Amino acid sequence: MTDPGPASGDAPTGLLAAVGPYFAVRQGVPGEPPPAGLRPLRELYATGPGSALAERIPLVAERLGTAEPRVAASVLHLGLAARLWSVALGAAVLGAAVPDLHPDRTHAALPPQGPIDLWLPAAGPATRPASAVELRRVVVAENLVPLAAAVRSVTPVSEGLLWGNAASALAGALRVLHQHVCGTRPAAARAAHRFTDDLLALDPLADAGTLTCTGAAGPPAFRRTSCCLYYRVGPGAGICGDCVFDAPPARPARP
C-alpha cells in the first residue's frame, strides 16, 4: 500500500484522537476562550505546599492504596509525561510539525482517573517542522523540566527516576503509534522510530534506557535503567514491562 504521507496543521486533532485517548487533544476556534474548568499547564507546575501537585499527589496515593507519596508522585508524573509525548510525537509524525505546547498556551484539567484533558487555542500562523531537537524543546525544556521541579518540591523523588519516566513515556507513545500506523503508513512508522531514537540520544533522556526493534515492522521494546516504583503499590502490583528489574525487589519485613 502506498503511504499517503503526513498530514498538515498545528495539531491534527482527528488523526491524533484515532490513535488513542492519550493522543487526543481538543483545539479551540479563533476567539474562543478555554473551556470552563481548564487552567494553563503552567499552574500545574507550581512548586511547594498548596500547589496543584501537592493537592493531587495524596489523592493519587489514596486511589492506588499506597502510603508512599513518592510512589504516587512517580505514577502521576509518568502519566503526565505520557500525555505530552503522545500529543507531540503523534503530531510530529501525523502532521509533520511539532505543536505549540507552551505551558502558558496549553490548558489542562486533571480528571479523577484517566489521561489529563488537554486543550489548545486555535492554531497559530505556523509551527516548526518536526525534528527531535524541536520535540525536545517543546516537551522536555518547556514542560518536563518544570514538571520535574514541581514534583520534587512536593515529594522526594529521584531526578533520575523522573527522567526514566520521561523516557519510558516516550517509548510507550512510540509503541502505540507504531501499532497504529505500521500497516498503512510505513513512512510515518519510520519517522516515529527515528524521532524517538534521536530523542533518547539527547540529554536528559540519554542513558535512561535502551530502545530495540525487531525488524522493520516489529514492535519497539524499551528497557529503562531505573524503576518507576509501581511495584511498591502493593504485593500484587508487579513490575512494568520496561522495568530495570526482572522481578519485584524484595521488601524488608515489617518488625
54 domain residue, yes or no: yes
What per-residue confidence (pLDDT) applies to 127? 65
Whether 8 is covered by a domain: the verdict is no
CB 234 within 8 A of CB 248: no
pLDDT of 143-197, one tens digit each?
999 999 999 999 999 999 999 999 999 999 999 999 999 888 999 999 999 999 9
- Enclosing domain of residue 101: 13-233
Identify whether 90 is part of a domain.
yes
240 lies in a domain?
no
- pLDDT tens, position by position, 80-135: 999 999 999 999 999 888 999 999 999 999 888 888 999 999 876 556 789 999 99
Residue 245 lies in a domain: no
Q: What pLDDT is attached to residue 4? A: 35
Q: Is the pLDDT of residue 76 over 50?
A: yes
Q: Assign 2 a pLDDT band (cuts: 50, 70, 90).
A: very low
Q: Across the chain, what does the average pLDDT equal?
A: 87
pLDDT, position 11: 58
Q: Which residues of 207-229 are buried (b: 16+ CB within 10 A; e: fewer)?
A: ebbebeeeeeeeebebebebbbb
**Inside any domain, residue 6:** no
pLDDT at 7: 36
In total, how many domains does the chain have?
Answer: 1
Residue 5 has pLDDT above 50, yes or no: no
Q: Quick check: is 38 in a domain?
A: yes
pLDDT score, position 238: 80
Helix H or strand E segment including 117: strand 117-120
The verdict on residue 201 lying in a domain is yes
Better-scored residue on pLDDT, 123 or 219: 219
